[in-house]
Chain A
Amino acid sequence: MVLCGGKFAFPALQLLAYEKFICAIGIGKSNASIVDALERESEENNFGFKSFPDKKSIIEMRAWIETVQPDYIFCISFPFLLPENVLSYGKGKFINFHPGPLPQYRGPMPIFEVLKNQETQTAICAHFMNSKFDQGNIIFNDPVAIQKTDTYGKLSIKLSERLAHITLNTANMLQFASHIPNQIQDETLAYYYEKPELADTYINWKHMTADEIISLINACNPWNNGADTTLQEKRIKIISARLLNKPHNNQTGTIVSITDTLNIACKDNEQIAVEILSTDAGIMTASQFEEQILTNFP
């Protein structure tokens, strides 16, 4: 049985279904089109299906699991914590695939955090589940390299594709193993990142280097529509930018020049070249933004 949260799990669902490992799919809080698509696929393949639209609906999960009687339950970005009365279906039967290395990156959005923290490598962690988020015994962390140009979207796709193979390998492992090696999480290395808020997605020009700013912009693209900032006293979001490799004499966080990009001064005497940004008027290129400024302040 797979409990999932949306399309991030689709490649894994497809591969596990192809290899005939799936007996049922549960989905938690997702948009209607995704729920419909999964329900349709489940019906066509004779899988059990159940939607858990909110926390309250988890109360129905134990009875559903008892009906389906799965050997194991895989969780892939399932949004709700499973309570003890669900987990008591079987010790060692619930395995979560966390899209970040554990115990270092606990929390709901590790993809954002690893990018923001400029990690060069992340992981998909397979761990047994307990009644706390991301805290059960670790089976393994399967490493995935991060490229400098990876955005949240690009890395999500990469992880989602990698996850498919990892879930299949894990299913084979469960099928053949006489014992699943696992270890308690080292609490001295553990950190729980809450869901990012404005303070986490906001560019602090005074304190952040150009590299850190670009990492934050990539980490916010596309889920937050870019990194938040204020420019010309207006709240905008920067969606895409690169390092310009040009020194400057300007105050940090101000526009140095506008070419085909919007070139902004950073504290480490570097500039970032903003390619695409989002304002109240819509998503635009640097040139379109320049036109907007000229229109407003001719």
Chain B
Amino acid sequence: MQTIGILLPRSTYYQTIGFDLYEGLRSGLKHLGKSDIKIVTENIGFGADKQQCYRSAEKLLLEENVSVVIAYIGHRMAQLLRPLFLASNKILIVLDAGANLPGEWPVCPNIFYHSLHNSLGAALAAKKAASNGYTQAGMVTGYYDAGYLHTYSISKGFEETGGTISFNHATGYTTTEFTMEPLKNYLEQFPNSVLLSLFSGDFVQWYFEGIKNLFKEQNIPIYMPPFGFEEMMLSDAQFPSENIKGIAAWSKKLESKENKAFIETISNTGKTPNLFSLLSWESASIALKVIELIDECKNNVIQIAKDLHEFTFESPRGKIYFDSKTNTSIPLLYNASIITNHEGKCEVQIESVVNDVFEHFEKLSTQELNNSTSAWHNSYTCI
């Protein structure tokens, strides 16, 4: 019997993240007619403890003898695991939020990154704001989200399109420290500014509440990347402005038979489909391809990697393929806005497909980081 290993993180504000990732994979395999494949899980906490991650991966490889490992971790942790996967001649599929930008994109045939592309979405959201006529912006984020380099891509994206970042506001991460008050002063000084905003999880809800309370009916412009469009959190967030736009990675509203199957299958398990169950649902297709190639290529990892570069599949968010230079998956991204529902809460409205995603990604992956680094080692949203 084939076995797939998955390293599952935990999160205090996405409390179901481990279950979502597991269920996405399990249901994805079942949907592909492979429910006979055994899934073995290991807990990696917040994904920041090197020893815990290494030992969990080692256990899956050496004790459970899994065919392939899937892990919701960042680039840095993936690099720590690189020698283990090289030495054991196995493939690691990294489920990547895409919130960080690695200092380099070192290609290793044993590691493939399946991404939600939050940094790319952040850069595209900023470019969109600039192309919609905004020339000044404030970057608004929180203590936690500010630690990832999507901050760099959103600022760079805006500046490259001719805009100027006039102010930055990074708020605290507890309810008592979380405040949007400084924005009043900033927006008086720079009244035509757009707010390039980076929040995830509960912080999206707090942010929208703050905006609603301080800037009632002013409809101030806000642009956000994919994690700002995470529908599970938005369903409990107050609608703060008629002018919230950005880039979404996925929505329940996307119309395709693949998305319908995903939503129905996950919903039937009693769970709410979200970005995490989506990512691992998709990883089932990649893992099955890897298992097929292990046999076809007689375990030659270099050949398996070459064949994966040619692999494409239809996912709930559209066609996905891999960039051979970075081993990173390239999906469709969507221009989106936030609308209100009858309860005054938020919903995503998909407007169109973003053009030239690959070209934008290529630019992002080759851009200089100018010594910007991130000290956040944990998997994104896992605190």
Q: Which residues of A contact B (CB under 8 A)?
A: 126, 139-143, 145, 162, 165-166, 169-170, 172-173, 175-182
Contacts and interface: CB of A to CB of B under 8 A. Distances in A.
Given A145-B107, A172-B54, A178-B58, 12 more contacts: A141-B86, A142-B83, A143-B109, A165-B79, A169-B79, A175-B51, A176-B54, A176-B58, A177-B54, A177-B84, A181-B61, A181-B87
Interface string B83-106: 110111000000000000000001
Contacts of B82: 142, 169
Contacts, number: 54
A182 B87 CA distance: 6
Contacts of A178: 55, 58, 62
B109 A181 contact: no
A169 B75 CA distance: 13
B108 interface: yes
Nearest to B53: A176
A126 B302 contact: no
A290 B302 CA distance: 48
B88 A142 contact: no
Contact of B87 (A139, A143, A145): A139
A30 B88 CA distance: 36
B377 interface: no
B354 interface: no
Contacts of A166: 83
Contact of B51 (A162, A176, A180, A182): A176
A173 B109 contact: no
Contacts of B55: 176, 178
B40 interface: no
7 contacts: A139-B83, A139-B86, A140-B86, A145-B107, A169-B80, A173-B54, A173-B84
Using C-beta atoms within 8 Å of the partner chain, give the interface range for chain B: 20 to 34
B360 to A, nearest CB: 23
A128 to B, nearest CB: 11
Nearest to B325: A145
A19 to B, nearest CB: 11
A179 B106 CA distance: 25
A121 to B, nearest CB: 8
The 4 closest A-B pairs by CB, nearest first: A140-B86, A176-B54, A181-B87, A140-B87
Interface of B: 50-51, 54-55, 58, 61-62, 79-80, 82-84, 86-88, 106-109, 302
Contacts of B51: 175-176
A176 B52 CA distance: 9
Contacts of A142: 82-83, 86, 108
Given A143-B302, A181-B62, A181-B88, A173 B83 contact: yes
A143 B61 CA distance: 21
Given A145-B107, A162-B106, A176 B87 contact: no
A141 B88 CA distance: 11
A50 B167 CA distance: 54
Contacts of B54: 172-173, 176-177
Nearest to A162: B106
A180 B109 contact: no
Contacts of A140: 83, 86-87
A177 B83 CA distance: 11
A169 B86 CA distance: 11
Contacts of B86: 139-142
A177 B106 contact: no
B88 to A, nearest CB: 5
B85 to A, nearest CB: 9
Nearest to A143: B109
A145 B327 CA distance: 14
A85 B354 CA distance: 65
A181 B302 CA distance: 18
Nearest to A182: B87
A141 B80 CA distance: 15
A170 B50 contact: no
Most buried by A among B62, B83, B106, B109: B83
A141 B302 CA distance: 11
Given A162-B106, A182-B87, A177 B79 contact: no
A179 B79 contact: no
A233 to B, nearest CB: 47
B50 A176 contact: yes
B56 to A, nearest CB: 10
Contact of B108 (A126, A143, A176, A179): A143
